[in-house]
Amino acid sequence: MSPTDTLTQPALWPLTAIVFLPALVAAFLSLPIVPKAREEFIRWTTLLTTAVVFVLSLWMAVPALFGPTGPAQFRLGDPSMQAVVKLPWIESFGIEYLLGVDGISLPLVVLTTFLSMLAAAASWPISKHVKAYSVLFLLLVTGMLGVFVSLDFFLFYVFWEVMLLPMYFLIGIWGGPRREYAAIKFFLYTLLGSVLMLLAILMLYFTSDLRLLSDEQLVASHVVSPSLDGAARTTALEAVRSAGRPLHTFNILALAQIGQLPNSPFAAAQVWGMSLETWAFLLLLIGFVIKVPVVPVHTWLPDAHVEAPTPISMILAGVLLKLGGYGILRICYPICPGAGLSLAWLVCGLGVVSMVYGAFAALAQKDFKRMVAYSSVSHMGYVMLGLGVWSAVAGQEYRWDAWAQGVNGAMFQMLAHGISSAGMFFMVGVLYDRVHHRNLEEFGGIFGKMPVYSGLAIAVFFAGLGLPGLCGFIGEVLVTLSSWNYSRVLAAISAFTVILTAAYILWAIQRVYLGAEYKGPHGDHLTPITPRELAIATPLVFFAILFGVAPQILFNYVTPTVNRQVETLADWTRRVHDAPAAPAVAAVQQDMAGQTAR
């Protein structure tokens, strides 16, 4: 048995369980044997399920907590894809049940499970159709986790859609007064995105050809499972080699390998005067940035947030927005490096624009939740900027570390924003549950009435403000610093944004928490924070501080993978993009092969 063999198969269960356990429980809850009336039971089941999933993901991510390391658990410092599950699904199209986690996806998975647990706890006040709510909620969790762990493009798309629908209903049924409008808006936006994405997926699929890859690449991208050894592997490779017609694939890793070939078919194929690579990149980018979201396709976000119930807002801001960034990082850049390099200005530009625009818009909001939503737009702008800064170019002697810093910063920003924005939305929700309005002008003096809550809330908002010692700071400063090497102007603008951020957050804090007295209705309902709320808010604040003080905890996971991807792409820039075209190609190709092999 080769070590990889013991690696692959046992991994089948942890990942599968993490992804599908919520769906199973949802199916159970949806059975008629579960009476609608027993709402407490349903709530507890949901909470327990999410908790179990969270523990499972922790078990994978932090083996140290659970005694001896199992084969399916995550090995820190290993940049490659781990705990890979590979089963044939629809063989006629080469679609596989291919799951795996690496330094990029694992933290996001843990974040998702963590936030969904808190959101489940935050769902207690929801008393309308509790059963249906819980079922949809769990389905949503499955969808999100599936997107993060699926390595097969088709599977990815399926989970993407699975995630979309429950969200639509959760907003549309349990939302505020204008919920239908918001839900439809959300749905149309994201549907448009996923349609374009599907288009790109098919383009790539039908252009891809596994036969272009070297043996090492085939194994590295799990087309031929590394668990196979000796004869089995050679036969599997032979099957690929001897194929008479092009072997299309949905395997994301393989697509990335193909896209980075010197003779990449994606770059070669021309569609309406642009390379297919460019088209695919653009379509995918649109699909993902709608989720991120960036200006000008962001307007679904404020409405969705304002209308959605608190826990859904937490999930929406904490996890769903990250899917966009994750997609760009995991799919757009590796698969379409050429387009990524030539369109980096677009990604960065979008990031900076939404950074500034979101901050300005947040400054003008009267609605507390809307303000927080726009702050999300602004913060996710940092993510876009960090992902985009392709500064490993000739002028920088192909130094990739500044770019890697940007991408690392973007990843950190995603995770940090997951915590801080979820926290902010929860804090808004706590107030809303009491006074049933969100008008910033009508608050004030909350600190005097709810000191503990206000302390936690201010801490969370400072995390959003990007205060050092809190999680918001690291990501922002890394991204900002790295952006200088890509573009002076963008860097300056992004640095300018810190002023606006401070302005709108401090102003909101002043209007809501400070001041002499509460000016709005239902002042007598401003009771101190309940233990349940405290139990939700405390972990958020704790992690906000922890990641702010010791960001290495996250970087230990993120950096190896990100650095390797960035390094690979930097090498690609030098060897393929800037290479003196004809003579070097062959050498380059075998260089690439060798390098991916190592």
Partner 1 sequence: MDLASQLPMLLGLAWLAPLVSFVAILFFGPRMGHHGKNAAWVATAAIVTSLGLSLAAFGIWLTAHPVTAVSHDSHGAAVDGHAADSHDANEHESHGNEANADHGDHADHSGQHAAVVPAAYSGDWYTLYQGGSLRLSIGWYIDALTVMMFVVVTFIATCIHVYASGYMHDELHDVTDHEVHLSDGGHLHRPGRFPRFFQALSLFCFSMLGILIAGNLAMVFIFWELVGICSWFLIGFYFERKSASTAANKAFIVNRVGDFGMLIGLMALWGALGTLHFADSPAAGAGGQTAPGLFSLVRPAESGHALQVPDGMVKFANASGVSQIALDNASRPGDGANEIASRIRDWRSEGYGRWLLFIAGVGIFCGCVGKSAQFPLFVWLPDAMEGPTPVSALVHSATMVAAGVYLVGRFYPVLTPDVLLVIAVIGGITLFIAATIALVANDIKRVLAYSTVSQLGYMMLALGVGGWSAGLFHLVTHAFFKSLLFLCSGSVIHACHTNDMRKMGGLARVMPWTAGTMLVGCLAIIGAGIPFVIGLSGYYSKDAILAQALSYSQANPSWSILFYAVAGGAFLTAFYMFRLWFMTFAGAPRDHHIADHAHESPNVMVVPLVALSVLAIVAGWTLPGGFGLANLLEQARPAGTAATMSDSFLFGNLTVPAEHLSHEGAIHVTATLTAFTTAAAGVLLAAMMYLWRIISPEMVASVFRPIYSFLANRWYFDELYNAIFVRPVFAVASLASGTDRGVIDRLIDGIAWSARQLAGFDAWIDRNLVDGLVNATATATWNAGLELKKLQTGRLRQYVMFIVIGTVALFVLASMLFRAALAG
- Looking at residues 347 to 366 of the shown chain, list those that interact with partner 1 (rule: CB under 8 A): 357, 360-365
* Minimum CB distance to partner 1 smaller for 239 or for 489: 489
Q: Cβ of residue 278: shortest distance to partner 1, in angstroms?
A: 22
Find out whether 247 and 94 touch, Cβ atoms under 8 Å: yes
Which residue from 291, 105, 275 is spatially nearest to 204, judged by alpha carbons?
275
* Minimum CB distance to partner 1 smaller for 43 or for 185: 185
Find out whether 465 and 501 touch, Cβ atoms under 8 Å: yes
* Minimum CB distance to partner 1 smaller for 134 or for 559: 559
515 backbone φψ class: left, alpha, beta (φ>0; ψ -120 to 50): left
- How many residues lie near partner 1 (CB under 8 A)? 75
Q: Which of residues 489-518 bind partner 1 (CB under 8 A)?
A: 491-492, 495-496, 498-500, 502-503, 506-507, 510, 514-517
- Coil, strand or helix at 41: helix
* Minimum CB distance to partner 1 smaller for 65 or for 516: 516
Q: Which of residues 181-200 bind partner 1 (CB under 8 A)?
A: 184-185, 188
* Minimum CB distance to partner 1 smaller for 250 or for 473: 473
Q: Cβ of residue 291: shortest distance to partner 1, in angstroms?
A: 16
Span between the terminal Cα atoms of the chain, in Å: 22
Q: Which two tokens stand for residue 187?
A: 């749905």
**Whole-angstrom distance, CA of residue 305 vs CA of residue 438:** 12
Which residue from 330, 390, 325, 333 is spatially nearest to 354, judged by alpha carbons?
325
**Whole-angstrom distance, CA of residue 472 vs CA of residue 319:** 16
Find out whether 374 and 365 touch, Cβ atoms under 8 Å: yes
Q: Which of residues 279-308 bind partner 1 (CB under 8 A)?
A: 296, 298-299, 302
* Minimum CB distance to partner 1 smaller for 153 or for 555: 555
Q: Which of residues 447-486 bind partner 1 (CB under 8 A)?
A: 447-448, 462, 467-469, 473-474, 477-478, 480-485
Q: Cβ of residue 393: shortest distance to partner 1, in angstroms?
A: 7
Q: Which two tokens stand for residue 434?
A: 């009491």
**Whole-angstrom distance, CA of residue 366 vs CA of residue 3:** 59
Q: Which of residues 132-191 bind partner 1 (CB under 8 A)?
A: 184-185, 188
Secondary-structure breakdown of the chain: helix, strand, coil percentages, each rounded to the nearest 5:
75, 5, 20
Q: Which of residues 565-584 bind partner 1 (CB under 8 A)?
A: 574-575, 578-580, 584
Q: Which of residues 430-449 bind partner 1 (CB under 8 A)?
A: 445, 447-448
* Minimum CB distance to partner 1 smaller for 31 or for 516: 516
Cis peptide leading into residue 337 (ω within 30°): no
Residue 421: CB atoms within 10 A of its CB come to 28
Which span sits near partner 1 by CB under 8 A: 97-105, 195-203, 236-244, 401-409? Answer: 401-409
Which span sits near partner 1 by CB under 8 A: 152-160, 231-239, 333-341, 550-558? Answer: 550-558
* Minimum CB distance to partner 1 smaller for 69 or for 510: 510
